[in-house]
Amino acid sequence: MDLKNRAVLVTGAGGFIGSHLAERLVELGAKTRALVHYRSNGSWGWLDESPHRSSIEILAGDIRDRTQVTAAMKGVDGVFHLAALIGIPFSYEAPGSYVQTNIEGTLNVLEAARALGTLLVHTSTSEVYGTARYAPINESHPLQGQSPYAATKIAADKLVESFQLSYGMPVVIVRPFNTFGPRQSERAIVPTIIAQLFSSDRIRLGNLAPTRDLNYVANTVDGFIMAASSPSAVGKTLNIGSGRETSIGNLVELIGKVAGRPVRIETDQKRERPPQSEIDRLVADSSLARTTIGWEPRVSLEDGLRSTMEFIRANLSRYRPAIYAR
């Protein structure tokens, strides 16, 4: 699908990745509609401050309400489905809310897309793989729900797959690895480290041994755009990851080096996942995305960290580094 002058919807557009994607779609000339989570204070999340806000049709609602979802999707050629509950630690405490949003919400999007004949680009996550049984991880790797969050995302992915196989729906599953960048909350590891670095003489962290595949948000957005634009992507699941494996401990050292600051780490056990739930290793094999849609990461880890540091330094008052964000 050529996105210029095409009508598209982004669910979860008020969030971290969703807001970046909505802005890129506007820049590409798409007629962009955004579904953001309703808040009683009228906030549209990150789109409140977007320079492209006046060019985006913004609707406030709830992905769990099928009537609202169907109304938001009427008249669009494609939908990028990013709306989800994403915090892993909170999923231990409130798994039911994850089922309602991530599974039932996805079903609402699928039913609307099926009825309206809309292309669906669905957002998965590398968490569905669990700890790597082999590395790098390709799309054939077994799926393992090591947290309630991961389990609900596996279920959502399988629902999308089932609608493609059962009804011939045009769907693409985009599976980002560990996206980071400006606007990400401190529930994620990169902003957690940076916000603490700029506000304290020590950084409180849990397990330093796990490895992650960190990918700058602009690279992830590229993956969504290219997946929606390529007919050869329909029916496929595509990993979007850098292929570079970094341990949490090495990440702290790298952030300190880029920032030019000394780093002192303090272990905080409440930040550790339950042992059987911890994902020890993640690193992507994104060769299928490379051959199918021509995707390659454009922004390096170091350059992405610099941009993220600049944003957090300028917006440090938004963060609460002394509090463990779940």
Reported confidence tier of residue 273, pLDDT bands at 50, 70, 90: confident
Length of the chain: 326
Lowest-confidence range among 158-172, 194-208, 278-292?
194-208
- What's the whole-number mean pLDDT along residues 146-154? 98
Round to whole Å and give the CA distance between 154 and 271. 24
List pLDDT tens digits, range 51-70: 999 999 999 999 999 999 99
Q: How would CATH label the architecture of 7-180+216-243+284-298?
A: 3-Layer(aba) Sandwich (3.40)
User: Given this model, what pLDDT does residue 47 score?
Assistant: 97
Among candidates 57, 39, 293, which has minimal Cα distance to 173? 293
User: Given this model, what pLDDT does residue 271 score?
Assistant: 85
The encoded tokens of residue 103 equal 């599974």
Lowest-confidence range among 40-44, 293-297, 320-324?
320-324
Round to whole Å and give the CA distance between 11 and 19. 10
Percent of the chain with pLDDT over 90: 90
Q: How many CB atoms lie within 10 A of CB 275?
A: 8
The encoded tokens of residue 4 equal 């210029």
Percent of the chain with pLDDT over 70: 99
pLDDT at residue 326 is higher than 70: no
Query: Domain boundaries in the chain?
Result: 7-180+216-243+284-298
List C-alpha distances in Å: 12 to 72, 228, 296.
12, 17, 24
Round to whole Å and give the CA distance between 5 and 2. 8
List pLDDT tens digits, range 94-115: 999 999 999 999 999 999 999 9
